Amino acid sequence: MAVKKNAGRKSETFRKPIRTPKRPKVVPAKRRWGADVIVDMLHRYDMPYAALNPGASYRGLHDSLVNYGQNYPHMMLCQHEETAVQVAHGYAKASGKPMVAIVHNLVGLIHSNMAIYYAYIDRAPIFIIGATGPMDETKRRPKIDWIHSANVQGSQIRDYTKWDYQPSVVDGVPEAFARAYSVMMTQPQGPIYMCYDAWLQEAPLDHKVPLPSRDAARVPAPMAPDPAALDQAAEMLVAAKRPVLLAEFSGRGEAGFDALVKLAETVQAPVYDLNTRLNFPGCHPLNMSMVNDIFTDADLIVGLDVRDWERPTTKLSSTTRKVERITPKNCRFVDIGFGDLEISAWALDYQRLLDADLRIMADTDLAIPELTRRCRALLNRNAAVKTRIKRRGARIAKRHQAARQRWAKEARKGRNDRPLRLPVLAAEVWEAIKDEDWVLTAGTLENWSRKLWDFDKHYRHAGKSLGTSTQIGISLGVGLAHRDKGRLVVDFQPDGDLMFDAGALWVAAKHNIPMLVVMYNNRAYYNDWEHQIRMAKQRKTPVERAYIGMDLSDPDPDFAGLARSFGWYAEGPIDHAKDVGPALKRAIARVKAGQPALLDTITERR
């Protein structure tokens, strides 16, 4: 297949990236409005960006942001409310800082529902601002304010936000804002929703509204572990012959990432990283992620801020839904994290109950260093145990190296195959970016990037992708978080996901988010196609009919042409390995010059 090329915009016409805006001084006005108080709080809490889709319900706030607040937070126009929330989601995961998303009254809130739910289960701190038609019936416009408002608008998302509130008077805005910020940022973090009455925003402000003290503590101190329970955990970990450290959210920041390295090296235990965040360096000799047989002889599993303990420790038959435990019957479990604190009364994201031998409610940022200190003290008193765990570490390192060699060998196979094999594509991209200061956004190309790349720093990856129609928006947020640092942001972008909101490509061009998109284009919703294949085999129906309602072809979407129409540099379709490297070189040069770039790579169906 021939490679189509297009230079897109000339490099000399590129706009310089907009750097993270600094908080300006508000513009004094003879007359103030209710929405000005909301802007005062956004300035007080220094939130630089607000992703939004326009709506008349917050026209008062919009004007206050633009004029009184001098466009701070900097408004980022998005084509859909889901995209706006997802940009804030990706930014929060990648930066550890909250971002504002603004959604238009009831209908905009309903549009954003799924993105808010995913932010909730992914523990992303998003300050969602909404609005409602006036609660004062005399101020409502005919029809439109009636059909777009609800009695208790926050009830629409109350089951999957940490808190929601609608101040009834302007004097209630500062306290509610401060409380919302604290709730949002307290671990386990998550989205909150503040709903502002349209008339509250638009009404003249005839008195001074006091703001919270600048010196007040915005977030409480983290939750510390029980010392006695931590002593017990240390004793169990040092005594174990074949322990495994299982991590999910513990690497949400650099401190947790570094702390887990020290714990693993102290006790010479293998680490299995669930990749909800990047918890552990990929090439570390103790990294045994994606090697599930590490659990088959484990005598102790220590979960570190883990909810999804069951998937790696069981074997699932996708056809029959039968789940079998792969750990030995005598394997013990220690759970350190937030446990029941993040259980929703509505969503079932809390997973199956872990029958743990020891449960410690604590923030792992505090618990892991303390656990390491206690383990080190125990080991220093027992030379024989130190020798034993050193030998264990050497054995794990050999298994780690053998796995990496197998994966590298797999990436060398089938380089002449069309379409592209996933290991080959992952290897080609790695070869092109390995000397850059790179970041991977969400998708991992079915884990082949994790198998072949060196994830050596905590910021290399904000965590695995979520449901379909979430990745492009989240990737934009990750790109925004790293833009000012000059890092090369890479997105393995599924074709089906991008089809949900192709307009998100415009957001990157409009708001100067240079990033490299490498399409994971198998021209299908293949995850579901596989399920239909399983059903066909089980029921003995025609497997060749499983594609119906699943394929994305006839016509084949022209993603490169689409990207170019939005101001991106783009090439493709590309379906042979020999063409990938040169195309990557050209695309990366464009990204470094400040222009987003997309390569439409055609891949095998996996």
Count CB atoms within 10 A of the CB of residue 549.
Answer: 10
Chain segment 403-448, per-residue pLDDT in tens: 999 999 999 999 999 999 999 999 999 999 999 999 999 999 999 9
User: Is residue 97 a contact partner of residue 65, using CB atoms and an 8 Å limit?
Assistant: no
- Quote the pLDDT of residue 4: 44
Q: Which burial class, exposed, middle or buried, applies to 592 when counting CB atoms under 10 A from its CB (0-12, 13-18, 19+)?
A: middle
Whether 478 shows a pLDDT value over 80: the answer reads yes
User: Is residue 563 a contact partner of residue 590, using CB atoms and an 8 Å limit?
Assistant: no
- What distance in Å separates the CA atoms of residue 467 and residue 549, rounded to the nearest whole number? 18
Q: Is 31-205's fold the same as 227-400's? A: yes
Total residues belonging to the chain:
606
- Quote the pLDDT of residue 2: 42
User: Is residue 197 a contact partner of residue 135, using CB atoms and an 8 Å limit?
Assistant: yes
Between 3.40.50.970, 1.10.600.10, 1.20.1070.10, 3.10.520.10, what CATH number should domain 412-601 receive? Answer: 3.40.50.970
When pLDDT is cut at 50, 70 and 90, the band that residue 135 belongs to is confident
The angle at the Cα of 476, spanning 187 to 426, to the nearest 5 degrees, equals: 100
Q: What's the pTM?
A: 0.94
When pLDDT is cut at 50, 70 and 90, the band that residue 351 belongs to is confident
Buried b (16+ CB within 10 A) or exposed e, 266-295: bbbbbbbbbbbbbbbbbebbbbbbbbeebb
Name the CATH architecture for the domain at 227-400.
Answer: 3-Layer(aba) Sandwich (3.40)
Count CB atoms within 10 A of the CB of residue 2.
Answer: 8
Tokens at residue 243, please? 């322990």
Chain segment 260-304, per-residue pLDDT in tens: 999 999 999 999 999 999 999 999 999 999 887 899 999 999 999
Whether 458 shows a pLDDT value over 60: the answer reads yes
- Quote the pLDDT of residue 363: 97
The angle at the Cα of 154, spanning 151 to 157, to the nearest 5 degrees, equals: 130
User: Is residue 19 a contact partner of residue 484, using CB atoms and an 8 Å limit?
Assistant: yes
Beta bridge partners of 488: 438
What's the Cα-to-Cα distance from 56 to each of 201, 397, 585, rounded to whole Å?
11, 60, 45
| Upstream peptide bond of 28 is cis (omega within 30 degrees of 0) | no
The angle at the Cα of 594, spanning 589 to 595, to the nearest 5 degrees, equals: 80
In the chain, % of residues over pLDDT 70: 97
Say what angle helices 364-380 and 227-239 make with each other, to 10 degrees: 50
H or E element that contains 494 = strand 488-494
CATH topology (fold) of 31-205: Rossmann fold (3.40.50)
Tokens at residue 234, please? 């240390």
| Upstream peptide bond of 188 is cis (omega within 30 degrees of 0) | yes
Say which amino acid occupies 274: L
Say what angle helices 364-380 and 383-411 make with each other, to 10 degrees: 130
User: What is the average pLDDT value for the chain, to the nearest integer?
Assistant: 93
Tokens at residue 441, please? 């956004």
Domain assignments of the chain as residue spans, ordered by start? 31-205, 227-400, 412-601
Tokens at residue 45, please? 């809490």
- Quote the pLDDT of residue 18: 55
| Upstream peptide bond of 210 is cis (omega within 30 degrees of 0) | no
